[in-house]
Amino acid sequence: MAEMTSRERVLLALNHKEPDRVPIHDSPWGTTVARWRKEGLPEGVSPAEYFGYEFVGFGADLSLQLPTEVIEETDEYIVVRDADGAVVKNWKHRTSTPEKRDFLIKDRKTWEEYKERMTYNDSRINWNAVEACKKAREQGKFVTFNAAVGYDRTQGLVGSVNLLMAMIDDPEWVKDMFRANAELVIACAEEMMAKGFEFDGAFLFDDNGYRNDTLFSPAAYKELLFPYHKMLCDFFKSKGLPIILHSCGCVKKFIPYYIEAGFTCLQPLEVKAGMDLIELKKTYGDVLAFMGGIDVRKMAADDPREIEEEIRTKITFAKKGGGYIYHSDHSVPDNVSFERYKYVIELVRRYGRYD
């Protein structure tokens, strides 16, 4: 039998059917890729090409589209004012998320001044990427529309503290921001699909948890964020597309609502935050697919038997009946060597086969 394409393999997994093997995708940090280059990853070859990742994603500019500027730059970091007017520090040689230092949008009044910029225009789309999308589909990749949405996108606009306080003090403002983001995402996706992009699914990013719990209560989620998650899911489902939700941290309390909203799959299942792939599969595996849950800390362990045990026990269980896609439980950090990561993917292919 001919080997399945990525598209065939991922769609079967998302539909709780068993493909030829577990689909494989991952997200190494830039500093990790730089290390791997020194250790044998060929120049000009991406990790996606080398390891056969199954997904290719395309998105849109969802910002306020304000002018950007470099405020400060050294050999170690760069500080910029981004297209949302926020001041952001990025480290050049460290594995770290951007550090948001200040925000243009601090209150409802400022939001009202700039809200009109959260509407669609053609400059939000890189139309030159249509050909890359067509090529990815010709290669059989699973092509996704990617977007940051909801809480995560909005905290990048106004700041986590401001947003969490507003969820208590001014929930109508929060709903308005969530609504504006959802409407812009839908408008961008509509235009892209109408003018040459063809997608197999949607990959939406909305971090709702931290290490110990959800960032806000289930009641707040249901009242404030759920309607806009559902709006997005309803739209993509109307196009026949499955929806993968990326939500870091411990989001177990939100999973019943994610299912009700219409998400097809949850990713990345952070182990250190208490997201247990086997437990989740046992509890929700008949109605929700899972992607991730493989502990990156064990990838870097001195004893390679630790990562083999991690992959053997989790993937052997999670792959039963479909509904599982391999991914690390966050992003692969730069303490994982190229040789060790090659071993990880070898193990995933070994234990992820359906015989």
- Quick: pLDDT tens for 94-140: 877 889 999 999 999 999 999 999 999 999 999 999 999 999 999 99
Q: Percent of the chain having pLDDT more than 70?
A: 99
**Cis bond before residue 268 (omega within 30° of 0):** yes
Q: 6-63+117-351 adopts what CATH topology?
A: TIM Barrel (3.20.20)
Exposure class string for 292-306: b at 16+ Cβ within 10 A, else e:
bbbbbbbbbeeeeee
CB 177 within 8 A of CB 185: no
Angle of helix 160-169 relative to helix 150-158, nearest 10 degrees, comes to 110
> What number is the average pLDDT over the span 37-53?
97
Work out the pLDDT band at 355, boundaries 50, 70, 90.
Answer: confident
Under DSSP, the state recorded for 222 is: I
What does the pLDDT read at residue 329?
97
pLDDT tens sequence across 260-292? 999 999 999 999 999 999 999 999 999 999 999
CA distance 306 to 35: 22
pLDDT at 149 over 90: yes
Task: Extract the tokens encoding 284.
Answer: 């929700």
Residue 215 has pLDDT above 80, yes or no: yes
Rounded to whole angstroms, the Cα distance separating 154 from 159 reads: 8
Mean pLDDT of 225-233: 98
**Mean pLDDT over residues 233-241, rounded?**
98
User: How high is the pLDDT of residue 96?
Assistant: 79
Residue 273 carries which DSSP code? G
Alpha carbon distance 353, 22 (integer Å): 6
pLDDT (0 to 100) of residue 2: 67
Give the tokens for residue 8: 């065939």
Q: How many residues does the chain have?
A: 355
Q: Is the pLDDT of residue 34 over 60?
A: yes
| Nearest Cα to Cα of residue 265 among 55, 125, 58 | 55
Which whole number is the average pLDDT over 225-251? 98
